[in-house]
Each structure stands twice: as C-alpha cells, then as structure tokens.
Structure 1
Amino acid sequence: MIKTLDRLLDHLTMYRLVLYYLTALLGIAFVFGFLNLVPHDPVALAFTTALVLAACWITNRVFVRTFEVPANSESVYITALILALILDPVAATDAKAVGAVAFASIWAISSKYILAVSRKHLFNPAALGVALAALLLDHPATWWVGGNVWLLPLVLAGGALVVRKLRRLDLVATFFGAALATILVTTDPSQYGTALWETFSSSPLLFFAFVMLTEPLTAPTTRWPRIAFAGIVGFLFAPNVHIGSFYFTPELALLVGNLFAYAVSPKGRFVLTLERIEQTTIDSYDYIFRSQRKLAFQAGQYLEWTLGLDKSDSRGNRRYFTVASSPTEQSVRLGVKFYPQSSAFKRRLGTMRPGSTIHASQLAGDFTLPSDPKVKIAFLAGGIGITPFRSMLQFLIDRKEARPIVVLYGTESQEDIAYREVLGSARRELGIKTFHAVAKGAVRGQYPGYIDARLVRLTMPDYLERTFYISGPQAMVKALRQKLLAMGVRRSKIKVDYFPGFA
C-alpha cells in the first residue's frame, strides 16, 4: 500500500497534488451543503468559488502580460481555492460581501507581483488577501473548512499526502508543538481537554499547517531556519497570544513568519539566458545558462525552474533540478535526462535554442558538503543523479581541495556515463576515485551490475566511518538507503537528495 502510494505521489508535482486536494475538499463541501452537513448554502459556495477563480485568473493574466513572466495557472487556482475554503461563501445579491471577496482575490494575486523583491513574492498570497479584506473592509476569513468535523477526515488524509510529498514533517510537527504548547500555557488547566478538542476539530490548525504553512515559495529553504519559522508561526497562531488589545489571526501569524523567512532565505528570481547545449550521455543534456547577476549557492543545491507553456500537463510548468555547475563557475548548468514520453516541460525545454530564457528561483537544499573537510564521504549516484556530485567535485577541483571521498556511480550502460572529464580530473588532481557499476556491458575495471552492499564493502572497507550521499531515481535511493541501514550505517550518516517536486 505504501509503495503504491509513493508511486502515485512520484507522478504528481507538489502543485498538482495540492490542487487536487483543494478541489476534493470543495467538491465534498458542496455535496455536504445539500445534506446540511456544512453550514453553507451550496449555491453560495459555488458562486463564491466561481468568483474567486475568475478574479484570480483575470488579475494574474494582467500581471503576466505586464511583467512578461511565465504564467503558472496551477498557482493561481490553488490560491483561489484556498480563498474559497477560508472565506465565508457569499450570495450574488450581497454586493458588499461580493466586493470584499473580489478584493481579497485581486490582492492575493497582485501581491505576487507588487509586494515582491527581485520577482520573489514576500507573503503567502491567500493570507495577505484575507488579511487586507479583514483590515480594510471588515470582512475577515472564518476558516470554515477547518471548523467542520465532517470535513476533518478529508483534511487529515489529503494533508498527510501533502506533507509526505513535501517531506516537511519537521515543519508541521514543530508548528503543532509550538501552537499546542502556547495554547496549553495560556489556558486554564481545567479546560485542557476542551481546548485540545476544539483546536483539532473546530479550528484551522490542520488545514493551515498542511496547505498554508507548507507553501514553499514563502517559507525558508533550509532546515534550521524552517524550524524557527514554524516555531514563530505556531506561537503566534495560538488564539490567546496578543499585544495589548491586538490579537493575532492565523493569516497574520503566517505573514509575520513570511517576513522572517524572507530575511533568512536566498533572495530573488533569476532570468537565465541559454548559451549552449552539451550532450552528456545518449539521452541526457546539459543546458548552460548565463545570468545577469551572480548566483550565490552551495555545491549540491537545487533551483525551481519555470517555463512558459502553451499547454501544460499533469506535471505543470515548474520543475526542481540540481544546479550541476559549481559555485566557482561563471555559467549555470542544468543537467536533464529525456525519456521517450517526456513531460510538456521537458518537451518545451527540448525546443530551447541559444538566446532562449528560463526563470529560476527558490534556491534550496541541504545536500551539500560537510563543513569539516576531514569527514569521510561516499557519493552514491545513479544515472542523472550524478549532477549534484558533478557540482561538488568541480567545486573541490577548482579550489584544489582534496577530501576523503569515494564515488560509486551506477548506470545501465557505457553510454549512460556522464561527466567523465570531471570524474577523471577529480581522480588525477585530488585522488578521488570513481568506481563504475554498469548493469549491461561492463568492461574491465568496472563492477557488473548495480550498486549493492558487496560493492560498498569492496571499495570502502571503512564504510561505517563514512557519511553517505545518495542521489538518483527514487527507487534506487530508497533501496540503497535500506541496504546501508542493514549494513549497520547509522541513519544520521545517510543523506539523500530531495526535491519538493517531480523532475
């Protein structure tokens, strides 16, 4: 069951999964409205949903044309559906309420462009939209989706899938811990039971954590700042937290957290211009871009890449890819493997020619070299998973920094081996050896088959002293991680490459 679920999640981007989740919540709420299981007229709910969708879509089209940036329809629909789920449904005859909902929708989308620095928006769009509607028009969000016990099972089930896809359990758990601790500290002990029940059954806690808090563009991109962000938002989220007579709402708590996230995260969105394309294997290519300003990153980190698509598919127009170049190089290198049935994103990428542009943002990732150069390391790569190691090795070569590293590189055939020149330079200049595991057609000096426990023991007798970095197809990463654990390697000494989307 878990494996089937993982396969399903693998073929959905984070954005598409959240979109399906929100759509399902609204659909069920609409049905429950006819059964009087939610306190809202289904006709009003349908009208409000159509209103926010139209307002958000039109506003986004205006700004896309004005700023000439790729449109991301999924992001627009997600923002609209969140608004429909947290603002009370309104009747078409209530002009004041209709105006407030439209106002919140327009400002939610506008904030992505107006309240942005270097084309990176500062605030969660839905949170800002409802905060402004409450402040200026006295039309606050009721977060009704979180206050209905009949919707609770779906909120939980879909939210668990989102957290599993994003691998943000640390973020959500910290938020829950901070919020619940603050609620208990500010509540009479005799009311603990009631407070906890109401918090989970009739408050926005769960929906807020699963959908709003995990939004990647306005949260920190590395672990410890992310934990601090969750703690700040969790503390302010508690209903009894106030400054004088001013009490925080969920959206205001998140906006404060967004300011913290901006302060500690990499800034800006980059427009990269394609210089050339290099073929690295039989079906893999490196796209080499130039940037108008220096991209400061650590070797092994990834970026979110966005292309304008005339017609998208289930994977959307955004992807997360490792930066294959080293921070010491002037160009920005993107390594991509193409499949016979490629996504719309990769088909569009395949049509790019020198002079074409792509948008990149959300620099993130903890899959980086340890700060201590004496730490023994093992790089385990499968196929195109060699890209973060290419970045790290080129970085060490350019800095002439030798480290105790062993590379195990698994491929299907000789034609699938990429970056031979970098691997060769690392061996000659730094003494970093690469051992090739080739499934079909291995030659002398190569290991016939896939990376396994036997190869690990053969190439590094001191493997229990090493920190393992694993990058490649998800099935390979999971299998190798289990093998290493069975060999006695501690969990804390295994790092896996991770992207919050599907590449």
Structure 2
Amino acid sequence: MNAVKSRLDTWLGRFTMYRLILWVLAILVVYSMLLNVLGWLTFGLPQMLVHLALCLGVTYVTNRLLALLFRTKPHSESSLISGLLLYFLFWPTFASLDMAGVALACFLASASKYALAVRGRHIFNPAAAGAFITGLTGLNIATWWAATPAMLWLLVPGVFVVLYRTRKLLMASTFLVVAAGIVCVELLSRGMTLGQALWQPLAQRPLLFFVGFMLSEPLTLPPRRWQQLALAAVVGVVFAVPYNLGFVANSPELALLLGNAIAFFLGQRGAVELTFKGSRALTPGSTEFRFEPKRPVRFSAGQFMELNLPHTGSDGRGRRRVFSITSAPGAPEVTFGVGTAEPVSTAKKSLLNLQPGDTITGTAVGGDFVLPHDAGKPVLLIAAGIGVTPFLSHLGSESVSGRDTVLLYLAAGRDELACVEQLEASGAKVIARLSDGSAPPAFMHDAGTARIDGSSLKELVPDIGARDVYVSGSPVSVDSLRSAARSAGARRVHVDSFAGY
C-alpha cells in the first residue's frame, strides 16, 4: 500500500492544485454532455454547449479586462475554474433572462476577486459570490444541477482525487458528516426510510460538489487544520439547517460565503507584497530566496506560503506555487527554501531570474507542520534532502529554544547538507546519514550509510516513543520514514511531503 500511495503522490504531484481542479472539472463537463446524449440528462446538447461557452467566455474576458483596469496580471486558470463551476451551478437554457442572469453571475464572480478583496486577496469564493448576488436580483437562481445520481460515477472519484491532492479529506469528512447527518434526520422525520435518508443527501443535494470544489478552495480557508475542521462543521450546519429570513433563505452559496468570511479573520488577511533582496545556494540542488515583506507576515515556524509567480512561457504547472518558509517568525526578511536542481519548472525559473528590487506576491500562509506548544515535549525531526527546509524555520525560532530536539538529516553527501552553521548553532542534536559514505561535520553524529528502518531508527534514537516525530521530504521518502518511525515505537508522527514542489 505504501508503494501504491507513493506512486499516486508522485503522479498527482505533477499537477498544481489549480491545474488538477481545472482538469477534473473539464472531464466532468464532457461527462455531463455524454449523459445528456445518452438521455440521463435532458437539457439539450446545444443548450449545454452555449451555456459552457457563456460561462467560460464571460469569466475569462471580464477577468482580463478587470485585471487591466486594476493594473495587475490576470490568473487565467482561476477564471476558467470559476466559469466551469458556474456551468454546474446554473441551469443550461436558451431563455434570455436566465442567460442574462448567468452572464451577470460570471461577471460578478470576476469582479468579486477585485472589489471584494483586501490587500490583493479575495475574501469570498468567486463562483459562490456571483451566484448569490445574482440570486438577489431575481434574474436567475443557482440550482446546483451537478447534484444528480447520474453524475456520481465520475463526481465521486473526481472529488476524492482533488481532496486527496489538497489533503482536505478529513475536513471534507467533517462537513459531510455534519451536513448529511442533519439532512438525514430531517428526512427521517418526514417518513423516509433510513436508506433513502442516507442516499438522498449525497445523490440529490450538492454536498459532494460543494465540498470538493468550493469549500476546499485554499485561498478562502483558514491556515490551521483544527480551524478548517471547525469551519467545516459550522458551514455544514448552515448548509443543512433550513431557514428563511425573508429577503434571503438558506442556500449552499450563502453557507460558503459565511464560511469564507469567518476564515478571512483567522489567517493572513490579504496578500503580501514581497520585495526580492537576494538568494544563496543552500546545496548544489537547492536555493534560498530572501524577500522583504511590505508588512509583517503572520506565520508559525514550519508553515508554508503560496507565491504568485506570473511568467511567460509557462510549462503548464501554473504560476501559484507553495514553498516552505525557512526564516523564523518575526524576522525582518522572509526566506524560502526551493529545490532548484534540473529540470527546473518555469515558475522556479522566474524565481531564479528575479533581480533585487523586483516584487512578487505572497497570497496565502498555511500548514500544520508546527511543533507542540509544550516546550517540554521532546521532538525528533527527520529530514530527507530538501525536506530540511521547514525545519530551518523551527531551528531558528523559539519553538526549539530549550527543547530536547534531535534532527536526523538524510542527504546524498556532505555537500548536500544545508545551513550547517545554523544547525550547529541551534543546539539540537544532529544525526547525519550520508548515502555516499562521506563524513559529516564534527558536531554531527554519523549514522553511516545503512537504510533507515525501524530497528536502525530505534538504535539511533532509543527514546523515540517519548518524542513527537516530524518527517519531511519527498512523498516516497516520507512514506518510508513514517513507517520506520512507527515501527520504532513512535506514537505521534507528523508529515510534510513535497508533492508538486
């Protein structure tokens, strides 16, 4: 199973989150048209094609025009995703007023990214904002027609792949249990059988589509997992409990907008302009980039930041990429550790081509790879190659000050060890396992060249059962080292894999 999971992680890592969602939605669009041809849907193929062209055309064109007006570079992938979402939210039809409502929703979705934004970061899910405001006008109302049993055959695996890639399966499960549970109780009270009451929320209400493609949007989620779980439960209640306030009634889009507003106040509020100051080589295959933020960045040691890297000649992996923060919280500069060994993606090339004074945007901060609040809790940090980068932030911050900390560093050779001076100054016990047999620096303990498994790890760190273990590296390395840690007796293992890095 570990081998299968590793292969899946490696394959999915080739797609950025935005590109994966775009592909999954596009496949669902094709599938919906196939269902229509087969008679499982009855919109009419011409109506569906025109509806698709309207949604994609209006969101794409208005996004580019608004970007010109606001003097910023448009994010085309984001506009296409919004268009595809609206395709599934509104009924395909040739009725002129309904089509005008769809066009308005598409325009409002694009406009919300600029008008309903703080410091360059949109607050609300664009598709939900467009659908909700359009509903208030009376021109059209979102029907969320993707919630039909025939769509489940591809909707379920599509949603699973997206949630697995974005590591939001637990959050999605929380929402589904809360929302489906409330709906199920309501349906049972109306005389439905238990089977019908369980089937109807998942097959005929948009819970799966909602949580897979909209609630899980990273830019409108809080940064920590516990916050995301709490938010999922709250949104689940608002989604499922019926209410009518006169001018507005419960709807999926309103539940999502409420969740977006809560999430905005829990994390880094707004994008951050970062001015490039310089870079340095960490190892022959990795580089650290230094930036001065225009305003303080709120983050905890071990978290990451998503950077917006507009560039031409894209290799198709998108312009928004996630990188580990290597600087300590509160430092005057924010630094990122980036693997820059060939082949280098076009996004990383844009980083390498930055000149001092150039600016980029940090769009979001997140991640749960943080150490226990209890400073007396001993930890074992296991880094495989580039996986050392989040630990550099830990080792330079107060999170390891006075804490019993052991770092096991796996690298190809001595020249692949990053920030040796910082590691020595941290006071942590550092154990190096260098696969080429070279000798590590004198302050490090030499683990030799043997493969790290449960028995060897137990020998290197006899009290591993009393430590919280943190493992960082490629998906393959993380899976192997997590299994080794558990075999050695570790009770709590936290992981941070670099899929799609």
> When the two structures are superposed, what TM-score results if normalisation uses the length of structure 2?
0.93
Between the aligned partners of 1:143 and 1:214, the Cα distance in structure 2 is 17
SS at match of 2:55: helix
**Residue identity matched to 2:23:** Y
1:442 alignment partner AA: S
Change beyond 3 A, Cα 1:400–1:185: closer
Q: Match of 2:154?
A: 154
How far does residue 56 in structure 1 lie from its aligned partner after superposition?
0.9
Displacement of 1:69 after TM fit? 3.2
- One-letter amino acid matched to 1:114: A
Using the TM superposition, give the Cα deviation of residue 253 of structure 1 relative to its aligned residue in structure 2, in angstroms: 1.0
Structure 1 residues 239 and 274, CA gap change in structure 2 (3 angstroms): same
Structure 2 distance, partners of 1:173, 1:299, is: 28
Following the alignment from structure 2 to structure 1, what is the Cα–Cα distance between the partners of residues 241 and 228? Answer: 22
- Corresponding residue SS for 1:286: strand
Question: Alpha-carbon deviation of 1:320?
Answer: 0.8
> Residue 206 of structure 2: which of 200, 204, 207 is its match?
204
**1:342 aligned residue (336, 341, 344):** 344
Name 1:81's counterpart in structure 2.
Answer: 84
Q: After TM superposition, give the deviation of residue 107 of structure 1 in Å.
A: 0.5
Which amino acid is 1:391 matched to? Answer: S
Find the aligned partners of 1:442 and 1:402 in 2 and give their Cα distance.
31
The code of the aligned residue for 1:436 comes to: A
2:269 to 263, 267, 270: 267
Task: State the partner residue of 1:439.
Answer: 435
Q: Is the 8 A contact 2:184 2:201 kept in 1?
A: no
Residue 172 in 1 paired to residue 172 in 2?
yes
Amino acid of the structure 1 residue aligned with 2:436: K
| Corresponding residue of 2:401 | 401
Map 1:30-179 onto structure 2 (within 5 A): 30-91=33-94, 94-147=95-148, 149-179=149-179
Deviation at 1:314, TM superposition (A): 3.1
Does 2:500 match 1:502? yes
Q: CA RMSD in A?
A: 1.9
The aligned runs of 1:337-376 (5 Å cut-off) are: 337-376=339-378
The count of corresponding residues between Structure 1 and Structure 2 is 491
Residue type of the alignment partner of 1:49: L
Quickly say closer, same or farther: Cα 1:498–1:340, change in 2 above 3 A.
closer
Q: Contact 1:375–1:466 (CA<8 Å) still a contact in 2?
A: yes
Task: Answer with 305-314 or 295-304: which moved more.
Answer: 305-314
Compute the displacement of 1:68 (Å).
Answer: 3.4
Quick one: which amino acid aligns to residue 93 of structure 2?
Answer: V
Q: Say if 2:464 and 2:488, in contact at 8 Å, map to a contact too.
A: no
Residues 410 and 451 in structure 1, CA contact (< 8 A), matched pair in contact too: no
| 3-state DSSP of counterpart to 2:295 | coil
Residue deviations 1:278-311 (CA, integer Å, cap 9, x gap): 1111121111111111112211111101111213
Q: What letter is aligned with 1:100?
A: G
The alpha carbon displacement at 1:181 in A equals 2.4
| Paired position in structure 2 for 1:488 | 489
Per-residue deviation, 1:246: 5.0
Which whole-Å CA distance do the structure 1 matches of 2:182 and 2:121 have between them?
Answer: 32
In structure 2, what is the Cα distance between the partners aligned to 1:455 and 1:288? 37
What secondary structure, in the 3-state scheme, does the structure 2 residue paired with 1:39 have?
coil
Per-residue CA deviation, residues 91-135 of structure 1 (Å, 9 max, x unaligned), is 2xx432222111100101110111011111111111111111111
What amino acid maps onto 1:200 in structure 2?
L
In structure 2, distance between residues paired with 1:392 and 1:3: 26
Could you tell me how far apart the structure 1 residues matched to 2:327 and 2:41 are?
Answer: 53
Deviations 1:124-148 (A, max 9, x none): 111111111111133011111112x
Q: Do 1:313 and 1:343's aligned partners in 2 also have CA atoms closer than 8 Å?
A: yes
Counterpart of 1:278 in 2: which secondary structure? strand
**What is the CA-CA distance between 1:63 and the residue it aligns to?**
2.5
- Does the CA contact (< 8 Å) of 2:25 and 2:84 recur in 1? yes
* % identity of equivalent residues: 33
* Distance (whole Å) between structure 1 residues aligned to residue 247 and residue 335 of structure 2: 53
Residue 21 of structure 1, CA deviation: 0.8
Is the partner of 1:16 in helix, strand or coil? helix
Query: For residues 271 and 246 of structure 1, do their structure 2 counterparts lie closer, same or farther at Cα, with a shift above 3 Å needed?
Result: closer
User: Could you tell me how far 1:241 is from its partner in structure 2?
Assistant: 4.1
Matched with 2:197 is 195
Amino acid at match of 2:180: L
Q: CA deviation at 1:331?
A: 0.5
1:315–1:502: 8 Å Cα contact kept in structure 2? no
How many angstroms does 1:272 deviate by?
Answer: 0.4
Pairwise CA distance, 1:460 = 2.0
Moved more, 470-479 or 185-194: 185-194
Distance 1:327 1:239, change over 3 A: closer
Deviating more after overlay: 446-455 vs 82-91:
446-455
Q: Tell which deviates more after alignment, 193-202 or 55-64.
A: 193-202
What does residue 313 of structure 2 align with? 311
Q: What stretches of structure 1 of length at least 5 have no aligned partner? A: none
Separation in 2, partners of 1:227, 1:41: 40
Q: Distance in 1 between matches of 2:257 and 2:314?
A: 31
Preserved contact between residue 365 and residue 498 of structure 1 (Cα < 8 Å): no
Q: In structure 2, the residue corresponding to 1:142 is in which secondary structure?
A: coil
Amino acid at match of 2:137: L
| Aligned equivalent of 2:30 | 27
After TM superposition, give the deviation of residue 3 of structure 1 in Å. Answer: 4.4
What is the CA–CA distance in structure 2 between the aligned matches of 1:322 and 1:296, rounded to whole Å?
Answer: 14
Q: Distance in 2 between matches of 1:478 and 1:125?
A: 36
**3-state SS, counterpart of residue 223 of structure 2:** coil
Question: 1: distance between equivalents of 2:265 and 2:16?
Answer: 27
- Opposite residue 40 of structure 1, the aligned amino acid is F
Structure 1 stretch displaced more, 438-447 or 468-477: 438-447
Once the two structures are TM-superposed, the CA of residue 457 in structure 1 deviates from its matched residue by: 2.6
Whether the 8 Å CA contact 1:412–1:440 is kept in 2: the answer is: yes
Question: How far, CA to CA, are the matches of 2:8 and 2:424 in structure 1?
Answer: 40
* Counterpart residue type for residue 407 of structure 1: L
Mapped to 2, the partners of 1:102 and 1:246 lie a distance apart of 22
Tell me how far apart the structure 2 counterparts of residues 413 and 242 of structure 1 sit (CA, whole Å). 65
Asked whether the 8 Å contact 2:380–2:405 carries over to 1, the reply is: yes
